[in-house]
Amino acid sequence: MPSLYDIKPAFQRFLQPVLDACIAWRISANALTALALGLSIAGGAMLWVSGGAAWALLCYLPLLFLRMALNALDGLVARQTGTSSRAGMIFNEVADITSDVAMYVPFLAVIGVDYVALLAAVLTGVVVELSGIWRLKGDGYRAYHGPLGKSDRAFAFGLLAVLLLVSLPMLLVTVYLVTLTAMHLLTIRNRLVRPVGPPPGN
């Protein structure tokens, strides 16, 4: 099934000028990871405090794109500056999962969102990432299989923001969230059993 990971190399080329600037200004990979985490927490807090206001949902779209750009840049900076480390990898994985929870749980602030369906989608997304990390232990490579990896999930929740902005009936929103959960379960299965290797763009 197609995944946004398939366009990762093209996205990295798009970010090349920003990458060059980060290296020139000696911005570390961990600093970029921390910035992505901080923006995610701030964005989630904004949505929660606003009570799921339309303006906050609208702000989520550029925030999610910026987060994905920072997530791509931190790995590129680490590789090109030779600063990759186990500690940095752990920080990146923890920050990614924390960012997901911080940005997606606050959708509960939108009146009418089914909290069981939303939390199921968020929690299975966390398990997706943990299952990818698990493959490192036995196979030496992290699993990035789809159909709903980190970038795909960011797109999916960005689409959720759009659906809420256009006042899609909540029953259909619930169906959408249940579909995301089902796709997460398929992704978990794929990451646990399918062969692994270097991620796209490496």
Domain that holds residue 126: 4-193
The pLDDT value recorded for residue 197 is: 74
Q: Name residue 27's amino acid.
A: I
Is residue 198, in this structure, part of any structural domain at all?
Answer: no
Q: Which residue has the tokens 């200004």?
A: 25
The answer to whether the pTM exceeds 0.85 is yes
The pLDDT value recorded for residue 139 is: 75
Is residue 102, in this structure, part of any structural domain at all?
Answer: yes
The pLDDT value recorded for residue 3 is: 62
Could you tell me if 33 and 91 are in contact, meaning their C-beta atoms sit under 8 angstroms apart? Answer: yes
The pLDDT value recorded for residue 199 is: 66
The pLDDT value recorded for residue 25 is: 96
Is residue 92, in this structure, part of any structural domain at all?
Answer: yes
Q: Whose CA is closest to 126, among 89, 152, 98?
A: 98
With a cut of 50, list the residues of the chain below it in pLDDT: none
Is residue 188, in this structure, part of any structural domain at all?
Answer: yes
Is residue 98, in this structure, part of any structural domain at all?
Answer: yes
Is residue 35, in this structure, part of any structural domain at all?
Answer: yes
Is residue 200, in this structure, part of any structural domain at all?
Answer: no
Is residue 199, in this structure, part of any structural domain at all?
Answer: no
In the chain, how many domains are there?
1
CATH number, position 26:
1.20.120.1760
Could you tell me if 92 and 57 are in contact, meaning their C-beta atoms sit under 8 angstroms apart? Answer: no
The pLDDT value recorded for residue 30 is: 97
